[in-house]
Amino acid sequence: MKLVVARSWFALASLSLASCGTRTGLEVLVRADSGISAPDVVVIPPGCLLSRPLANGEIRFRVPGITGHPAVAPDGTIYSPTVEPEGGRGLAAIDPCGQVQWRATGWVGSPAERNVAQRPYARVLDNGEVLLTNSVGANTRHGGFRYLPDGSARGALAFERTLSSFVGIPAGSGPIAIAWSGESTRFELQQLSLDGARTVLAREFRNGEECAIDGSIVACWDSAFDIASRRALWSGPSDEIIDGTRRHVVGPAIHNGVMYVMLFGVRSYILAAKELRTGRELWRRTLASSSSGQTGFVSGAPVVGPDGGVHVFLKLGSGRGTLHTYSSSGVPVRTIPIASGAQDFLHDATTTIDSRGTIYVATGNTVLATNEGSTVWSRVIADGVSRAAPALSPFGDLYVITDTNELVAIAANSPGEAPSGWPSARGGSRNRNAR
């Protein structure tokens, strides 16, 4: 779902508001423009933002005990996984002023549940509910929990048997995941409705972490499945060999019916594009080659800007990383060198892009904003942002997670995420997709 701001809050900067959330009668109107029937959402400009303007790159607030991947709701509420005792994970709701509205416990810290809590995600559904999930399932029946916007628990996500991989959330519907069928190595594609009913969409589904949802299509690099008709659109080989090993995939990103991924083997790192409905490969471009294999390899999943350009971050070896930009047709546009450090490249986003085309890159201990090849601002985060999961607020701030489990809000004066199909990893600030 894309958010269309009908009235900018920047025009209200001269107002003096006493507290976060004060209603003035001059509220920002954000329309849920998603192609489905949904009411407009009135977003009240937070007084803390208007009464305390900050320069780009300044820190607005920090909230400790936060981890994983936060999601930002249309009203600006930040929902984020929390660190609980003994390795457990919970969920917190934080307003745009940095005030924690509520906290709820999700996974407890027992040894049997501990693996479930790895790389947790908050995700916002169209009906306002919030999901707390992990990235790749776990050896338990439940792969996540449901909450109402006020923090009331609605129970676990009742996918049948062992959850293998969370896929995403189609517009106006409940989540889709891949679950073990209970028979040998056979996996099923399952969906939960908003009322909790479970449907098996496909009895045989071989893919997992390479998949995302676009409209009614579950799209993977080697196959595509139509949810509405419950049939495969196409299927290709999943055993492509690069550098003598089975290819790995970072992404995908989807925009205007095209899927973009970064493929890599041991030495070669490639950006590729494929037609979503047919599986026809449109192009592939070599980003870099490494003589030292995956040593020092850091990558962020592709994102798509307002002009359809594709951006992907890559670092190899001990040197600086590079932000690569290509046109939608595969023409190289620019490369920008950026300092980088260690990062979990398979599961954490490094980039997001706004409607002005400003790209925000978080890697190592630096958060940087760049536009058309020029640095707009940068900020050193001493605690490190190697698992930053950057997300943009509708009020202009950038949120990142530090390596010491803090949510940091940085003033960016952004107009909001780009009106493209994929402005950030996972498809946008609501985290509707797994990767």
DSSP 292-323: TTTTT-EEEEEEE-TTS-EEEEEE-TTS-EEE
How far apart CA 362 and CA 402 sit, in angstroms, is 10
How far apart CA 423 and CA 255 sit, in angstroms, is 9
Q: What is the mean pLDDT of residues 35-53?
A: 63
How far apart CA 318 and CA 337 sit, in angstroms, is 13
- Please name which of 42, 53, 145, 46 lies closest in space to residue 101, comparing C-alpha atoms: 46
How far apart CA 214 and CA 235 sit, in angstroms, is 17
Q: What is the mean pLDDT of residues 333-349?
A: 70
Give 44 or 70, the one with higher predicted confidence. Answer: 70
Given this model, what pLDDT does residue 42 score?
Answer: 60
Given this model, what pLDDT does residue 211 score?
Answer: 86
Asked if residue 171 has pLDDT above 50, the reply is yes
Sign of the CA dihedral 207, 141, 403, 47?
positive
What are the tokens at 233?
Answer: 């659109």
Q: What is the mean pLDDT of the chain?
A: 80
How far apart CA 358 and CA 412 sit, in angstroms, is 10
Given this model, what pLDDT does residue 237 score?
Answer: 81
Query: How confident is residue 196, by pLDDT bands cut at 50, 70 and 90?
Result: confident
Query: What is the second-level CATH architecture of the domain 2-427?
Result: 7 Propeller (2.130)
Torsion of CA 114, 195, 213, 351, to 10 degrees: -50
Residue 261: count other Cβ atoms within 10 Å of its Cβ. 27
Given this model, what pLDDT does residue 118 score?
Answer: 59
List pLDDT tens digits, range 370-423: 999 999 999 999 998 887 889 999 999 999 999 899 999 999 999 999 998 899
Q: Which residues contact 195 (CB under 8 A, 6 or more apart)?
A: none
What's at 427, amino acid-wise?
G
Asked if residue 307 has pLDDT above 50, the reply is yes
Q: What is the mean pLDDT of residues 118-124?
A: 80
What are the tokens at 434?
Answer: 């797994």
| Prediction pTM value | 0.86
- Percent of the chain whose pLDDT exceeds 90: 39
Q: Which of 172-176, 285-289, 362-366 has the highest mean pLDDT?
A: 285-289
How far apart CA 272 and CA 401 sit, in angstroms, is 29
What are the tokens at 40?
Answer: 């407009």
- Please name which of 127, 220, 222 lies closest in space to residue 175, comparing C-alpha atoms: 127
Give 108 or 260, the one with higher predicted confidence. Answer: 260
How far apart CA 16 and CA 22 sit, in angstroms, is 10
What are the tokens at 240?
Answer: 């492509």
Query: How confident is residue 435, by pLDDT bands cut at 50, 70 and 90?
Result: low
List pLDDT tens digits, range 275-306: 999 999 999 999 988 877 777 777 888 999 99
DSSP per-residue codes, 36-80: S----EEEPPPHHHHHS---TT-EEEEEESB-SB-EE-TTS-EEE
Beta bridge partners of 312: 324
How far apart CA 268 and CA 285 sit, in angstroms, is 10
How far apart CA 220 and CA 261 sit, in angstroms, is 10
Maximum alpha-carbon separation in the chain: 64
How far apart CA 257 and CA 265 sit, in angstroms, is 26
Contact (CB, 8 A) for 399 and 62: no
- Tokens 């917190």, located at residue: 92
Q: Which of 7-21, 130-144, 192-206, 237-251 has the lowest mean pLDDT?
A: 7-21
Given this model, what pLDDT does residue 315 score?
Answer: 84
3-state helix, strand, coil in the chain (%, to 5): 5, 45, 50
